[in-house]
Structure 1
Amino acid sequence: MLTLPTVTLKPGEADRVAAGHPWIYAGSVWRVTPTPRDGEIVQVKDSRHRFLGVGFFNSRSKIHVRLLDPQRVQVNEAWFEQRLRAAWELRRRHLPQATSLRVVNAESDFLSGLIVDKYEDHLVLQISSLGMDARKEMVVQVLRRLFSPKAIVERSETAARKFEGLDEAQGTLWGEPAPMVWARLNGLEMAADLQTGHKTGLYLDQQVNYELVARLTPGAQVLDCFSFVGGFALHAARAGAAHVHCLEQSAEAAAALQTNAQRNGLAGRISVETVNVFDWLKAQTTTRPHEKLIPRYDVIILDPPSFTRTRASVPDALRGYKEIHLRALKLLKPGGTLVTFCCSHHVPAPLFQEVITAAAADSRRVLRRVAIYTQSPDHPVLPVIPETEYLKGFAFEVAR
């Protein structure tokens, strides 16, 4: 193996890396010899010159090194094939029936900066690191061998790319992509626009939760807030909900939800309102003097987009979370169930639950927790890398 440039860490900076966290920040670096090119493979050693692994170097990023392997390996096509096969085998073990799912989840699969989503026979690739971007063609060739897809589409549009010195990139990397793919999630079909749709086409991290939450809805009047294209609504309607009323601010997403409902023969049980959810909840819970609010929902689902991308904005996010929970609880019947999710890494589960219980106290409700939810297993959580765990959720019954 060729001699690699060496990144040496400052004393006391190696423990987190040795435990398995792949990010080495600029402030942890003692010296670099000789100076590597950005995107080049380097070896990392601690202050006592003990080998820690190899990874991508980028002097322009706060993350100076993204470790890829604790061994002295060559990061070539054979290495990528081994890693991608391992990632796919993990999914086959934990989601054996899934045909649309996340195949690679970056750090969770020891492939820092790479996401690959599978929508039936199409793949969508998203790259957020310079080193991985430089090896894009290598990744594409391995994906073609492993999956024989009809098309591989790139949707590298994340804000993280600018911190790596990269521009946005999108387009077809292989094959002839369909204008729209009908992705199957738990036997339901959902339209996925892989070239211009949100994220890589759909949210895939709730796939398991869709079915778990649907078990709470037979015979229920359901309010589904922040519905997007109907993941929870479709599953609830199929499970036997009496009716699901959906609130979605995006007119495009609301139209897709209606299309999905029709496609699955569920349009009769689902209604869609294009509206700002905060405004709708406020209007529905505002009463005149001496007017009593009559709760009318058996199940309310709150699955909003992230309210914060940074630690600095967490206090504002918590106020937003409390607001929607307070108003949702006022619309929930006695004995009803509130299902709620938070997808921000910066709001840990205990803090999220504190906000919910504070909202319950203000609404004079006592809650009984009946379920805890996390992201689907195709978005693996490595406890040593806290950034891999972002989605948390709960189901609460109104005890009184």
Structure 2
Amino acid sequence: MEKQLATVYVKPGEADRLVAGHPWLYDNSVLKVTGEVPDGALVQVRDHRRRFLGIGFYHSGSKIRVRLLAPERVTVDTAFFEARIRAALEVRRRHLPEASSFRVVHAEADFLSGLIVDKYEDVLVLQISALGMEQRKGQIVEALQRVLAPRAILERSDVAARKFEGLPPVEGVLAGDWPAPPRSAEQTGSAPDDPPSTPAQSQPASSQAALLPVRINDLVFEVDLWAGHKTGLYLDQQVNYRQVAQWARGARVLDAFCFWGGFGLHAAQAGATHVHMIDQSESAVQTALRNAARNGLADRCSGEAANVFDWFKAHTQTRPGEKLVPQFDLIILDPPSFTRTRASVPDALRGYKEIHVRALKLLRPGGVLATFCCSHHVDARTFLDVILSAAYDTRKILRRIATFSQGPDHPVIPMIPETEYLKGYAFELVR
């Protein structure tokens, strides 16, 4: 353990959350700091009565003044990271024993605040959003090599949260042999956290040299680890892909906000008569169709590049006296987050309601609506209320048949609300 750690004292009444397991000590909860503390250094945390609470990384310029790592005194070195990564990997092997691609480290949920590591077959992608982790990147890479012996380790530390830690975005190859990121690649269109005015998921054109075949359940997806969202692909839905696909046999399916075809291709594989996939990004749709062909599903899949809101509006409009005929037996709504902040939640809820009103009009009686929300700022109860409000407005009766969450490789620690973001429901349309 580092000797003579500086001490951060917590204000009266502010320690309970830390004792309960939350790793963030906010700047407005700090009573005082003893000694000169370089940003990123390890400190000990005590309550106002001098009782020891744990150790963590300090950052004077961040709203999160200390990110706790452990409630006991430990040495933070390569061996520490190796032990934490092995413990996290054991959770994945226990709950996703057949998966070859999954999230290895889910930041706070694996007690490594500010660190994400995703495994795509034999390639790892690392994402850092905290200064303390950034300063120990070498130790983290060494630990990952010891535990997983990957072909390559890439870094995609391009998340907006880095700016709050005074860190610039960084991309590159940290270890192994892999094509470097194209310098000209830029995100175009909307990103996963864009508001509902531009909701689609898009990405730059793929670099053929960086494509990696990734197996999700029994399907293979073409992934560009430099161009895809997050660290390349959405891994948090792989359990839900199978669960939703159970309602696809013999069904005509609409996969809205399809991205690279995760839900749509699982539905086609499960026996859907036809799957139509929509995304605002032309490159996303083309990738989804290539994935369909790769898996021998092209004859049952079609794709269309369109703004999903506009598409729904165009397909639910009727002339005076004309009755709308529902077209689909299974509709999947998996949009990007419609809000980055709590302040924009009302606008986001209007966006969520709009797509549900339109989707319900296109769903046949007895059909299934599977719908998801990945915004941390919209809780499950609020999301459910939006769906029920849309059902009321369209005079539909829904029967809830399933509730969804993020996969077990994205574990949720209830005392750390920030670890939970994905929620979803499946409803059968009664009438």
Question: What is the TM-score of this pair, normalised by structure 1?
Answer: 0.99
Q: Report the equivalent of 1:272.
A: 303
2:316 to 264, 285, 293: 285
- Give the distance between the partners of 2:330 and 2:161, measured in 1 at CA: 37
- Do the aligned partners of 1:171 and 1:195 also contact (CA within 8 Å) in 2? no
**CA-CA distance at 1:196 after TM superposition:** 2.5
- Give the distance between the partners of 2:419 and 2:213, measured in 1 at CA: 28
- Give the distance between the partners of 2:319 and 2:340, measured in 1 at CA: 37
Q: Report the equivalent of 2:336.
A: 305
More deviation in 187-196 or 61-70? 187-196
- Give the distance between the partners of 1:258 and 1:16, measured in 2 at CA: 48
**CA-CA distance at 1:384 after TM superposition:** 0.2
- Give the distance between the partners of 1:389 and 1:33, measured in 2 at CA: 34
- Give the distance between the partners of 2:390 and 2:73, measured in 1 at CA: 52
For 1:122-133, list aligned pairs within 5 A: 122-133=123-134
Q: Secondary structure at the match of 1:237?
A: helix
For 1:127-146, list aligned pairs within 5 A: 127-146=128-147
Q: Deviations over 1:204-244 (max 9, x none)?
A: 00010000000011000001100000000110000000100
For 1:43-82, list aligned pairs within 5 A: 43-82=44-83
Q: Report the equivalent of 2:105.
A: 104
Q: Deviations over 1:337-375 (max 9, x none)?
A: 110000001100011000000000000101110000000
Q: Secondary structure at the match of 2:140?
A: helix
**CA-CA distance at 1:147 after TM superposition:** 1.1
Q: Report the equivalent of 1:257.
A: 288
- Give the distance between the partners of 1:295 and 1:42, measured in 2 at CA: 61
The one-letter code matched in structure 1 to 2:37 is: P
- The gaps in structure 2 that reach 5 residues or longer are 180-209
**CA-CA distance at 1:201 after TM superposition:** 0.8
For 1:99-248, list aligned pairs within 5 A: 99-177=100-178, 179-248=210-279
- Give the distance between the partners of 2:146 and 2:88, measured in 1 at CA: 15
Q: Secondary structure at the match of 1:315?
A: helix
* Cα RMSD (Å): 0.7
Identity %: 64
The one-letter code matched in structure 1 to 2:312 is: L
The one-letter code matched in structure 1 to 2:427 is: F
- Give the distance between the partners of 2:58 and 2:27, measured in 1 at CA: 11
**CA-CA distance at 1:148 after TM superposition:** 1.1
- Give the distance between the partners of 1:212 and 1:300, measured in 2 at CA: 14
**CA-CA distance at 1:198 after TM superposition:** 1.9
Q: Secondary structure at the match of 1:217?
A: coil
- Give the distance between the partners of 1:7 and 1:130, measured in 2 at CA: 17
- Do the aligned partners of 1:122 and 1:177 also contact (CA within 8 Å) in 2? no
Q: Secondary structure at the match of 1:49?
A: coil
Q: Report the equivalent of 2:42.
A: 41
Q: Secondary structure at the match of 1:339?
A: strand
Q: Report the equivalent of 1:10.
A: 11
The one-letter code matched in structure 2 to 1:49 is: R
Alignment of 1:332 with 2:344, yes or no, is: no
Q: Secondary structure at the match of 2:5?
A: coil
Q: Secondary structure at the match of 1:368?
A: strand
- Give the distance between the partners of 2:58 and 2:36, measured in 1 at CA: 10
Alignment of 1:296 with 2:327, yes or no, is: yes
More deviation in 196-205 or 124-133? 196-205
Alignment of 1:316 with 2:317, yes or no, is: no
Q: Deviations over 1:146-203 (max 9, x none)?
A: 1111110000000000000100010000111261111100021001111232221100
The one-letter code matched in structure 2 to 1:340 is: T
More deviation in 145-154 or 378-387? 145-154
